[in-house]
Amino acid sequence: METENCKSALRASCRIRTLSPRAQEQFSIFSFQFSIFSVLLLLIALSITAVAQTPTPSPAKTPTPPDDVDVLRTETDLTNLLFTATDKSNRYVTTLQQNDIRVIEDGVPQTVFTFQRETDRPLAIAFVIDVSISEERTLPDEKAAARSFIESIIRSEKDQAAIIPFEGYAHLEQPLSRDVLSIYRVLESVEVAFPAYSGVAPAIGGVVSGPGTISPPREGSTAIWDAIAVTCRNVLRRSYTQRRRAIILLTDGQDTSSRLSRATAIDQAIEAETVVYAIGIGDKKYDGINKKVLDDIAEKTGGRAFYPKKSADLMAAFQEIEQELRSQYLLAYSSTNKQHDGKFRSMKIEIANPTLAKDKLNLRYRPGYFAKKDE
């Protein structure tokens, strides 16, 4: 009677109640064991599914270098060379192709891998400004021309500039920065070092004085070659290698206290791939301008020297530098000389196109480089 009154959904349960106590105990044990087995099967199935769905890890990607890092320089034997070409009228030639030129290193022709117009590469420019007493009457015009140059060429999203006044010592008043307003403020604060240097930055180190060396600079002296060397070594070399590095040197060329030679300053500029543009400006009241030494350092680093006679000429000199920086070519080659001996290697660019060769173009570039040296 009890079984007949059960609903269809509970028939199995109702039948259990009609079993003997021992049969009910055996059925319960079987049900428990079956439940455990079912759970185990479910866990195994889930584990297999998870493994099947887990993606195979892909090999780690090589990090992409930031935009400001020169990929070419990761190859130790690849050499970058910037150059400009001008015609007989001193106009910039911007239509050269790779097959128009050839590169020779230590007398051996080289294979050029990269050749391109270089108009958009970021700049790193150091204004190295003589603030000795001989610049007293010309410094205001120098500052005005430099500001105009900064306004026209420095792109705040890419380019950097540094302000480095010097007398017997060089002072990093403005490290390389894209902050144009900060650069302006520092430039305006630069004053002639008389009776003493009035800036806030300490002297840039790196030139040693001691027994057997030239004594430290005197108050009011001028150390041009020291200033160039420490700027290349401590300021510009720390910028990313992709940048075009340049020093704009404002001085009369009258060095009175450098502990380093002009040749050492040139070597430091070449090692830092830095072009020196010299603006010879001084006062006849003192010793005038030493054009010979300024021509030398500009030519041997791939730059130019200018000798403005009035403020309009000074502005024109800065405009010429701006145009040159925007009219450069970049080439790169892997030297056939694989020795990492640290030695100097001379480079020469020649016009290979017979038609262009007749035009006798003037090619301006640094004349060599120092090979990397194995540690």
Whether residue 309 is contained in a domain is answered as: yes
Residues 334 and 322 in one domain: no
Task: Kindly report which listed range (191-200, 210-219, 275-284, 345-354) carries the lowest average pLDDT score.
Answer: 210-219
Whether residue 65 is contained in a domain is answered as: no
Residues 179 and 106 in one domain: no
Whether residue 95 is contained in a domain is answered as: yes
Whether residue 34 is contained in a domain is answered as: yes
Whether residue 59 is contained in a domain is answered as: no
**Residue 260 confidence (pLDDT) above 90:** yes
Structure tokens at 335: 């030297």
Residues 174 and 297 in one domain: yes
| pLDDT tens by residue, 206-249 | 887 666 667 788 877 899 999 999 999 999 986 665 788 999 99
Domain of 15 in residue numbering reads as: 2-53
Residues 193 and 84 in one domain: no
CA distances to 19, 28, 29, 212, 366 from 25, in Å: 10, 5, 6, 107, 100
Total count of domains within the chain? 3
Spatial contact of 245 and 275, defined as CB atoms under 8 Å apart: yes
| pLDDT tens by residue, 37-60 | 454 445 445 454 444 444 444 444
DSSP states along 222-249:
--HHHHHHHHHHHTGGGS-TTSEEEEEE
pTM of the model: 0.76
Whether residue 24 is contained in a domain is answered as: yes
Residues 211 and 91 in one domain: no
Residues 305 and 211 in one domain: yes
Residues 98 and 154 in one domain: no
**Residue 182 confidence (pLDDT) above 70:** yes
What is the pairing mode between strands 328-334 and 78-86? antiparallel
Provide the CATH number for the domain around residue 246.
3.40.50.410
Whether residue 335 is contained in a domain is answered as: yes
Residues 176 and 205 in one domain: yes
| pLDDT tens by residue, 128-144 | 999 998 898 889 999 99
Whether residue 375 is contained in a domain is answered as: no
Beta strands in 215-361 (DSSP E): 244-251, 274-280, 305-306, 328-334, 344-351
Residues 92 and 211 in one domain: no
Residues 140 and 209 in one domain: yes
